[in-house]
Amino acid sequence: MVEFSLIAVLLVLLVVGIINFGLLLSFKQDVTRAATVGARVAAVELPPAAAPAAQTFDSRYIAGVDGTNDAVDSFNQTCGVDGMGCSIIIHNCIDTVLDPNSVAYYDDGLDDCVTVELTYDYANFPIVIEPPILGSALPDTISAKSVARLNE
Query: pLDDT per residue over 51-107, tens digit each?
Result: 565 556 678 888 889 999 999 999 889 998 989 999 999 887 765 555 566 555 555
pTM: 0.79
Q: How would you class 30 by CB atoms within 10 Å of its CB: exposed for 0-12, middle for 13-18, buried for 19 or more?
A: buried
**Residues in the chain, how many?**
152
Sign of CA dihedral 86, 24, 34, 94: positive
Percent of the chain with pLDDT over 90: 33
Mean pLDDT, the chain, whole residue set: 82
Domain total for the chain?
A: 1
As a whole number of angstroms, the distance between CA 146 and CA 38 comes to 8
As a whole number of angstroms, the distance between CA 107 and CA 93 comes to 8
Q: Check: CB of residue 37 under 8 Å from CB of residue 18.
A: no
Q: Which domain holds residue 45?
A: 2-149
What is the structure's pLDDT at 61?
87
Q: Check: CB of residue 112 under 8 Å from CB of residue 149.
A: yes
CA-based nearest residue to 62, from 81, 50, 47: 47
Does residue 109 have a pLDDT over 70? no
